[in-house]
Amino acid sequence: MQLFDDSNRSLDDILRKIADIKSNFLKIKEFPKYLDERLREIRDKTYYGLRKVKDGISKYWPIIGGAAMAALPPYVRTSFMAGLYATRAYGGLVGRIVGYTLAGVGIAFFVLFTLSGIHGLIHPNNGHIQYIGSPNGYEAFVPNGTINYNGHIDPIGDLILPNGTILHNDVIWNGQYANTINQNHNIIVQLNNIWVTNNNSSVGVVDPLNGQQFKPMQDAVVIKGLIPIENITLNNQSYYAIAADKINSEYIAEFYTYQGWIPNFVVAMNTPGTKAELLPQLPGNTSSLLPANSPIFYYPNETGTVAFETKLYQYGSDFIGGYLLKQPHGPIIPYGIIPHPSGLAFLKFTAPKQVYNPYS
């Protein structure tokens, strides 16, 4: 096997070719050395640059460190300074242990300080949406008046949480259904004036079925799930403002029952096993305005009176009475529904299929 085709080449050409190959082998052999020298140059330049940076930091460290230390909260700054002092004062292993311990406390404080700052950004106290209530529970806004907020008239009242806790008279309903809630509440007030106080006469109206005086009724807007609220200040007073536009209309419905039962009504809705049922109609009666033949209407207590009133308040309004909540433990609660708002998530309370049987 021939390494070279020398048929057309002279001896000088062949020797020259061999010399070139040898030269190339020498270059390859020297390449690691060349590479090492270049890397050494880069390392030296880098070290020199870092040295200058270090010298600069050392020169200006009192200014940089002082500014950074001054920016820390007092309890963090004190721990760091105490740690530095202990390291210098005691020296040796003891000084390092004491110093590192105090510095560690300072670091812990700094982490808490940082996290609290992040928490403050995520959950500010004013002007930002927060959520209260239960993700799967029911809360009720109970209007009792109006307030001028952002140039429009909003309902104001109480907020009842799933466990019955009441936030009294410092909650504003702002957004969808505000006008509707105002109108529904005005109707309740008018009906109370007609049927309960007889237009503010000294003698209250008596239930003809059980002989008890009528009770004032109250409307309540029930929300299913968490409620978005804002903390606001209006006329130097703090309020919760419900951001109603952020609530899906499916999760809003309005009901009415005896004023004193509203917290119990909310708790009953949140009690597992509570069922909504209908009161039966009189045989052959095609009008929902008349009371049914259930003995509940004749109970000589608030239950009988309120059951009858839920039917009575249908006169002059589009309200619908004759419903009740049947709890697994506890009294039944008669109530009525207000057709608007009436979200689909409340069908088990607004369209119950079962008729109440007091003997079952």
Whole-prediction pTM value? 0.64
**Sheet containing 237-243: which strands, arranged edge to edge?**
130-132, 227-234, 237-243, 166-174, 152-160, 138-149, 217-224, 252-258, 333-342, 320-326, 275-278
CA quadruple 88, 91, 97, 98: dihedral positive or negative? Answer: negative
Please give the pLDDT value at position 117: 37
Q: Which of 269, 260, 254 is nearest to 328 (CA)?
A: 269
Query: Both tokens of residue 150?
Result: 């952002």
Q: Count the Cβ atoms, other than its own, within 10 Å of residue 53.
A: 9
Indicate the residue type of 169.
N
Per-residue pLDDT of the chain (360 residues; tens, 9 = 90+): 444 444 455 555 544 654 554 455 455 555 556 555 655 665 565 555 556 545 554 554 444 444 444 444 544 545 555 555 555 555 566 556 655 565 565 565 555 444 433 333 333 345 589 999 999 999 999 999 999 998 999 999 999 999 999 998 799 999 999 999 999 999 999 999 999 987 666 667 899 889 999 999 999 999 999 999 999 999 899 999 999 999 999 999 999 999 999 999 999 999 999 999 998 765 555 555 566 678 898 999 999 999 999 999 988 789 999 999 999 999 999 999 999 999 999 999 999 989 888 776
What pLDDT shows up at residue 124? 34
Asked if residues 319 and 336 have their Cβ atoms less than 8 Å apart, the reply is yes
Instruction: Say if residues 150 and 156 touch (Cβ distance below 8 Å).
Output: no
Q: What is the pLDDT of residue 71?
A: 44
Distance set, CA 251 to CA 132, 243, 282, 341 (Å): 15, 14, 33, 9
Return the domain boundaries, the chain: 17-122, 130-350
Looking at the chain, which runs of residues are DSSP E strands? 130-132, 138-149, 152-160, 166-174, 217-224, 227-234, 237-243, 252-258, 275-278, 320-326, 333-342
175: tokens are: 């957004």
Angle between helices 74-90 and 11-71 (to 10 degrees): 110
pLDDT score, position 19? 53
Nearest to residue 139, comparing CAs of 171, 177, 184? 171
Q: Are 165 and 140 in contact (CB under 8 A)?
A: no
User: Which token pair is 57?
Assistant: 């930091």
